[in-house]
C-alpha cells in the first residue's frame, strides 16, 4: 500500500529497482532461516544479525533468567510446594490405585499441568475423589509456580535492559 502511494506521488519511482519489491537482499546481510535479517541500532547504523547468534543469545538469556529465578525465595518456595504436591499425589496413586512409581509420577505431572492425555485414570472412588481435589488445588499451585518463575525471569530481563531497578 505504501509503495503504490509512493509511486503515485513520485513519478520517478521505479518498481523494477526497489529491493523491497524485487526480492533482492540488502548488502552484507546474512541468512537467518532462509531470510536476511537487518536491524537498526540506536546510532541508526545497520546491524546485521546472524540467526545462530540470535538463537544462542536468546537461549543464554533464558538460562540466565532461570538461574536468577531459582535464587529467588518466592520461586524456591512455590517450587517446593509444587514438587511436594506431585510427590504426595504420586504416593497416593501408587498405594491407592496400585500403579507403578513411574505411572504414578507421570499421572501426577500430567494432571497438575492440565495436559491430561487420558491414558490413565483413577479406578477407585477414593482415587477419583482425590483427583478432583488434586486438580483444583494443584492447578492453582502450578499456575502460581509458572507465573512466579516467568515474572522473575522477565523482571531480570528488564533489569538487564536498564528498565527495572537493579
CA distances from 116 to 39, 56, 107, 109 (A): 42, 32, 8, 9
CA distances from 32 to 14, 50, 99 (A): 28, 6, 48
Residue 63 reports pLDDT greater than 60? yes
Judge whether 65 and 153 are in contact, CB under 8 Å: yes
| Distance between CA atoms of residues 99 and 82, nearest Å | 21
Q: Where are the domains of the chain?
A: 2-49, 62-161
Judge whether 141 and 113 are in contact, CB under 8 Å: no
Higher-confidence residue: 31 or 153? 153
- Rounded to a whole number of angstroms, the distance between the first and last alpha carbons of the chain is 44
Query: Could you read off the pLDDT of 143-152 as tens digits, one per residue?
Result: 888 888 888 7
3-state secondary structure 33-65: CCEECEEECCCCCEEECCHHHHHHHHHHHHHHH
pLDDT grade, residue 158 (50/70/90)?
low
User: 0.85 exceeded by the pTM?
Assistant: no
b/e sequence 100-128, b meaning 16+ C-beta within 10 Å: eeebbbbbbeebbeeeeeeebebeeeebe
As given in the structure block, the three cell numbers for residue 3 are: 509503495
Q: Is the dihedral of CA 42, 62, 141, 81 positive or negative?
A: negative
What's the CA angle centered on 30, arms 24 and 34, to 5 degrees? 70
pLDDT grade, residue 99 (50/70/90)?
very high
| Mean pLDDT over each residue of the chain, to the nearest integer | 74
Rounded average pLDDT over 3-24: 54
Q: How many CB atoms lie within 10 A of CB 144?
A: 14
CATH for 62-161?
1.10.287.70
Amino acid at each position: 500500500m505504501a509503495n503504490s502511494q509512493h509511486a503515485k506521488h513520485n513519478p520517478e519511482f521505479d518498481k523494477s529497482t526497489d529491493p523491497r519489491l524485487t526480492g533482492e537482499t540488502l548488502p552484507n546481510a546474512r541468512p537467518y532461516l532462509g531470510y536476511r535479517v537487518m536491524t537498526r541500532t540506536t546510532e541508526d547504523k545497520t546491524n546485521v544479525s546472524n540467526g545462530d547468534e540470535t538463537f544462542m543469545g536468546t537461549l543464554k538469556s533464558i538460562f540466565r533468567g532461570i538461574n536468577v529465578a531459582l535464587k529467588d525465595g518466592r520461586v524456591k518456595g512455590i517450587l517446593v510446594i509444587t514438587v511436594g504436591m506431585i510427590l504426595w499425589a504420586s504416593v497416593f496413586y501408587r498405594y491407592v490405585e496400585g500403579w507403578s512409581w513411574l505411572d504414578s509420577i507421570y499421572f501426577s505431572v500430567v494432571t497438575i499441568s492440565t495436559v491430561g492425555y487420558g491414558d490413565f485414570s483413577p479406578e477407585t472412588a477414593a482415587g477419583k475423589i482425590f483427583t478432583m481435589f488434586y486438580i483444583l488445588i494443584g492447578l492453582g499451585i502450578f499456575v502460581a509456580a509458572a507465573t512466579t518463575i516467568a515474572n522473575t525471569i522477565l523482571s531480570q530481563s528488564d533489569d538487564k535492559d536498564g528498565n527495572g531497578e537493579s
